[in-house]
Amino acid sequence: MSQMTHASRTIRDERFELEALPWIDDVYRFALSMTHEEADADDVVQDTYLRAYKSWHTYVPRSDCRRWLFTICRNVFLRSRERQSHIADIDDTERDALAVAETFRSATSDCFDDVHARMDVGAAIERALARVPEPFQSTLMLVDVEDQSYEVAAEVLGVPIGTVRSRLFRGRRIMQEHLLVHAVDAGLLLD
């Protein structure tokens, strides 16, 4: 009986290694997009894979393992954020005001950066994405960076497709504002 249990665990471990582990870099990038800190992203990824391993019996073989892992990752992140602090729910008007304030803060602080650093468009895109507030940032990461469909993003985020579209529109608008500030600061565009 114990040999059968050992054999089934070995098969389970092999399936997990073959199907889940290849996505660890993608899960890390997604976690980093939410946490903004490498150490926190490492913790989220570790917890994601621990939970995925413990729940591997619920995974349907040959389905979209990446999507399944993204969903677990997002849930791990949200749970960790709930434990860290209680965040007040803000409405769209307040969220827009925060985004505008963040754009202004970014514009005034970025103007003092080194000229060479400002010419690096890749770094500018990363900084702009890091400044996009949640929940827009995670939606942008899933659809624009991880190239997931609206349907997959809606499932991972636990929201309707219309909400994904709305968040993408607003998130892209915020990104555009940040990148416009970068272009002006770098002398690529005139005020």
pLDDT one-digit tens code per residue, 66-86: 999 999 999 999 888 877 654
pLDDT at 64: 87
More confident residue, 113 or 35: 35
In angstroms, the CA 67 to CA 148 distance is: 9
Q: Which of 5-14, 26-35, 84-93, 144-153 is the least confident region?
A: 84-93
Phi first, then psi: what are they for 158, rounded to 5°? 70, 35
What is the reported pLDDT for 48? 93
> What percentage of the chain's residues is helix, strand, coil (to nearest 5)?
80, 0, 20
Domain with CATH 1.10.10.10 in the chain: 92-185
Are the beta carbons of 150 and 143 closer than 8 angstroms? yes
38-54 and 24-35 helices cross at what angle (nearest 10)?
Answer: 130
- Report the CATH architecture of 2-84: Orthogonal Bundle (1.10)
Q: What is the DSSP letter of 60?
A: P
92-185 CATH choice from 1.10.540.10, 3.40.50.1390, 1.10.10.10, 2.40.50.100: 1.10.10.10
Instruction: Return residue ranges of the chain for CATH 1.10.1740.10.
Output: 2-84
Residue 95 above 70 pLDDT? no
> Given this model, what pLDDT does residue 110 score?
47
Q: Is the pTM for the entire model greater than 0.75?
A: no
Q: Residue 153 pLDDT more than 50?
A: yes
Residue 144 pLDDT: 85
Token digits for 112? 């003092």
pLDDT given for residue 31 in this prediction: 92
